[in-house]
Amino acid sequence: MPSAASGPEPVGDVLKAVSVEMSGPRIITANDGRWGQVVSEEFSYAQAAGSFITGTEALVADAARTFCNENMAPQIRAWEQAKAFPVDLLRVASQSGLINMAIPEAYGGPGLSVRAACIATAEIAACCAAAATTFAANDLALKPILLAGTEAQKDEFVRALIARQGLASFCLTEPDAGSNPAELRTSVREDGSDLVINGAKQWITNSGIAELLVVFVREPGTQGNKGIRCVLIPTKTSGVSIGKPEAKMGQHASYTGAITFTDVRVPKSNLLDGDGFKIAMRTLDYSRPVTAAIGLGICMGSLEDALPYALTRVQGGKPIAEHQLIQRRIAIMSSLTLETRLLVLQSASLLDLGQPSTHTASVAKYRASTNAVEVADHAVQILGGYGYSGEYGPEKRYRDARVLPIYEGTTEIQELVIAREALRPYRNTQI
Q: Which residues are catalytic?
A: 408
| Residue of 316, 317, 318, 333 lying closest to 382 (CA atoms) | 333
Q: Identify whether the C-beta of residue 198 lies closer than 8 Å to the C-beta of residue 263.
A: yes
Size of the chain, expressed as the number of residues it contains: 431
Q: What share of the chain is helix, strand, coil (3-state, %, to 5)?
A: 55, 15, 30
Give Cα 165 to chain centroid, integer Å.
18
Q: How many CB atoms lie within 10 A of CB 88?
A: 9
Burial zone of 334 (CB within 10 Å; 0-12 exposed, 13-18 middle, 19+ buried): middle
Is the Cβ–Cβ distance between 108 and 163 less than 8 Å? yes
Biggest alpha carbon–alpha carbon distance for the chain: 80
Rg over CA atoms, the chain: 22
What sign for the dihedral angle of Cα 212, 64, 378, 306? negative
The set of residues, in sequence order, having a beta carbon less than 8 Å from that of 6 and lying 6+ positions away, is none
Q: In what order do the strands lie in the sheet with 53-54?
A: 27-32, 36-39, 53-54
The distance from CA 418 to its chain's CA centroid, rounded to whole angstroms, is 20
C-alpha torsion 387→388→389→395, nearest 10: 70
